Amino acid sequence: MQIGIVGKPNVGKSTFFTSATNAQAEIANYPFTTIDANRGVMYIRKPCPCKEFKVTCTPHNSECRQGTRFIPIEAIDVAGLVPDAHKGKGLGNKFLDDLRQAHVLIQIIDASGSTDAEGNPCKPGSYDPLKDIAFLETEITYWLHGIIQKNWDRISRQTEQENKKIEHTLSDQLTGLGINDDHILHAVKELSLDKSKPSQWTEDQLLKLVDIIRKKSKPMIIAFNKSDKASDEMMKKMNDIAEYTVIPTSAESELALTNAAEKQILDYIPGTNTFTLTNPAALSDKQHKALDYINTHVLQKYGSTGIQQCIDEAVNMLDLIVVYPVEDDTHLTDKEGRILPDAHLIPRGSTAKDLAYKVHTDLGDHFIRAIDARTHRVIGADHVLKDGDVISIIADA
């Protein structure tokens, strides 16, 4: 599972990425600063069970900050996309291939309207950021269409001749793209296409099919970025976007706050609307001013910088739950005595046995039963887990 950070050049993708990961990406006010994709780990927030169980946890694969668990999920920051990239414009389609593994996209938009269609700086407010949404959808659709089209004649004919299911043959072609049979079947149904005659689908139908597959397999949310310098009038445009969840963001503010927190200038937990200065007297006037600006124009105005909300919301779209495997259901510890060590993100609907496999293949292979640490009741292999479950798995040695 991966979150893809996408958008036209110069909108703040790498700023967003750097502020939310421990990786460093180059940031500059000109288009195509990023050429090779940056990969890192972001964190989603969930209430940590330590509060409810009244224990002090010792996280291993994640972090607990004042009762909130921050759970890792991979993310990728790619090069900027310009209109007609699928025809080779800008950096062309190369980097779209970097998005193969992305299961959900966060599109960064320059809400201040100070970058033109190609990402060149322009007078703030002179470019309508809403224009960027449609073109990005189109480019991703054309990219997917290109991949499918390559072998379409052969696949569609073969499917008919061998009496196969089109969703199978097509998803085989698309392995590694996060596209499965269900995505394809859903699109075929929505367009009422004749499943038994794919070779007769028109070019236009195929393009529409791909567009629906894209929406299903790579859902997207919008970050209305540079909110700190966008006029209220520009920010109101958010309300005109009906199809997507839109979150106002200031990646630059988040980056400033996380950098300052790292240097122990202040305490700040991503996603919140406050920070506390560690030693106010040590800061210069300029630093005070910059932080006051962030406080007034971002944190107080929008409730947060929006970065953490975007990550949480994106992962929500993936319909994952978090589960805490432990060895000892009384002390909530693992072999090494760590309390509530790991938090695992798994698809909703996963069973106790699925979790066992996620922890270790051996644990899955030798699964006997599991225990719900809240009730101390035994649960079977097929028991469907809930968000926040703490589970002990018992297996053959």
Among 169, 225, 258, 309, the residue binding ligand GTP under the rule CB under 6 A is 225
Could you give phi then psi for residue 250, rounded to 5 degrees? -135, 90
Query: CB-wise, 17 or 43, nearer to Mg ion?
Result: 17
Among 1, 32, 160, 381, the residue binding ligand GTP under the rule CB under 6 A is 32
The answer to whether residues 73 and 41 touch, using CB atoms and an 8 Å cutoff, is yes
Contact call for residue 33 and ligand GTP (CB under 6 A): yes
Contact call for residue 34 and ligand GTP (CB under 6 A): yes
According to CB under 5 A, which residues from 29 to 88 bind Mg ion? 33-34
- Judging by beta carbons within 10 Å of its beta carbon (0-12, 13-18, 19+), is residue 286 exposed, middle or buried? exposed
Alpha helices (H) along the chain = 13-20, 49-53, 131-150, 152-161, 166-173, 181-190, 203-217, 232-236, 251-262, 285-294, 300-302, 307-317, 352-359, 361-365
Among 15, 258, 333, 392, the residue binding ligand GTP under the rule CB under 6 A is 15
CA distance 66 to 130: 38
One-letter amino acid of 365: D
| Nearest CA among 374, 249, 385 for reference residue 359 | 385
Contact call for residue 89 and ligand GTP (CB under 6 A): no
- Stretch binding ligand GTP (CB under 6 A), from 2-10, 183-191, 320-328, 357-365: 2-10
Among 2, 4, 6, 14, the residue binding ligand GTP under the rule CB under 6 A is 14
Query: CB-wise, 33 or 245, nearer to Mg ion?
Result: 33
Contact call for residue 31 and ligand GTP (CB under 6 A): yes
One-letter amino acid of 184: I
| Nearest CA among 310, 318, 132 for reference residue 216 | 318
- Stretch binding ligand GTP (CB under 6 A), from 26-34, 231-239, 324-332, 389-397: 26-34
Residue 21 CA: distances (Å) to CA of 34, 77, 304, 334: 16, 11, 17, 27
- The DSSP call for residue 333 is B
Q: What angle do CA 19, 47, 388 make, to 5 degrees?
A: 120
Contact call for residue 14 and Mg ion (CB under 5 A): yes
Contact call for residue 15 and Mg ion (CB under 5 A): no
Size of the site for ligand GTP (CB under 6 A): 24
Contact call for residue 135 and ligand GTP (CB under 6 A): no
* Beta bridge pairs of residue 324: 390
Contact call for residue 12 and ligand GTP (CB under 6 A): yes
Contact call for residue 107 and Mg ion (CB under 5 A): no
Question: Minimal distance in Å, beta carbon 224 to ligand GTP?
Answer: 10
392 binds, among ligand GTP, Mg ion, none (CB under 5 to 8 A by kind): none
Q: Which residues bind ligand GTP (CB under 6 A)?
A: 7, 9-15, 27-29, 31-34, 79-80, 225-226, 228-229, 250-252
Q: Which residues bind Mg ion (CB under 5 A)?
A: 13-14, 33-34
